[in-house]
Structure 1
Amino acid sequence: MKKNNKVKENYLEKIPLKNPEINWTTDDNGIVTLEVENKGIANKIAQKLLKKPKISFIHLDENGSFVWPLI
């Protein structure tokens, strides 16, 4: 039998990074909106068959909008 030699990671030591391909804007209320392009074969099929958008707009809540510019 093999021993399970998994190393436990401390997620507090991880440093978040922004993806440079994701554009973002801030509105007058300070809410951040992320513009994410839908890539990949499954998204291409969904765009053709289900009329899904090429770009998704993700609106962050107050906490996410506060943290996003700090990253």
Structure 2
Amino acid sequence: MNKQSIIVSPTLLYMGGATYAYTRYPLTLSTLFAAGMILSGYLMLIARSDIIPDSPSKRLPKK
């Protein structure tokens, strides 16, 4: 688990749930969009915490 997965995974889950809610229930897109922006903001604040490690570097180690 790293900073990127803290943001991306719940956001993708929210997008799927919002799509389902929009097609199944009488919700407006502006309501779903606003809730998604609030969720994304909270997730970005959580990801800034020092407790959560950074993403691993994709560079090869020097020999």
Structure 1 and Structure 2 fold alike (TM over 0.5): no
Pick the structure with more strand per residue: 1
Q: Which of the two has higher C-alpha Rg? A: 1
Decide which structure has greater helix share. 2
Query: Which structure is higher in RCO with an 8 Å CA cutoff and minimum separation 6?
Result: 2
TM-score normalised by structure 1 residue count: 0.28
What TM-score does the superposition give when structure 2 sets the normalisation length?
0.30
